[in-house]
Amino acid sequence: GMYYGTLLLLGYDTGYDKKIYRFADFNAGRYSSRNAAFQKVISELLKQPVATDGDLLIYKADGDVALTMSGTEKALANLVQKYALGLKEWEIRRDLLQEKHLYFNSTVTYKTVIALYRKVKNATPPYAMVPVITLSSEKTSNILTTQKFANSVNNRYQRCLSQN
C-alpha cells in the first residue's frame, strides 16, 4: 500500500512548483490543479465565472467522457469567439480529452489560451491552483474540501521534512 500510494502520488511529471498541488491531485484526480488554474485563466479572460474544479469535461459514471459540453468547454467556445482565436470545436474537444495527461500542456488549445492571457493581462498565468471541490459523505458531518485535504497532507509533509 505504501509503495503504490507513493507511486500514485509522486510517480508522474507535473510541472508543479509546490507539493500541495500533487496532494490536491491525489484527492481530485491527476492534473486537476493544472486544469483548475486553466479554468481560472479562462474565467479571467471572459470576466465571467467558470468552475475551477479541475474537470475540463463531463464524465459518466463509468469514467467515459460524456458527449455533453461542459461549462469549461462552452466557456472556451465563447473565448474563441470573443478573441477570434480560430480554434474549431472539434479541436478544443480533441485537446480537452488530454486533460488527464501532461501532454495537455502541449495542445493547441492550452498554448493558445495561455498566450492570450499573457498578451491580454501582460502577466504570467497561474500554472496550478488547488481545485475548488466540496466533498460530501454520509460518513462524516464535517465539511470536506480538496483545499482542506491538500492542506492537511501538506502540513504533515512539511512536519516530516522539518524533522530531518
Measure the CA–CA gap between 14 and 68, rounded to whole angstroms. Answer: 28
pTM over 0.85: yes
Tell me which long-range contacts 5-13 makes (C-beta under 8 A, separation of at least 24).
12/102, 13/102
| pLDDT tens figures, 83-138 | 999 999 999 999 999 999 999 999 999 999 999 999 999 999 999 999 999 877 77
pLDDT for 42-60, tens place per residue?
999 999 999 999 999 999 9
Backbone φ and ψ of 64, nearest 5° = -75, 155
**First-last CA distance in the chain:** 24
In the chain, the amino acid numbered 120 is V
Q: What percent of the chain has pLDDT over 90?
A: 69
Rounded to whole angstroms, the Cα distance separating 53 from 20 reads 16
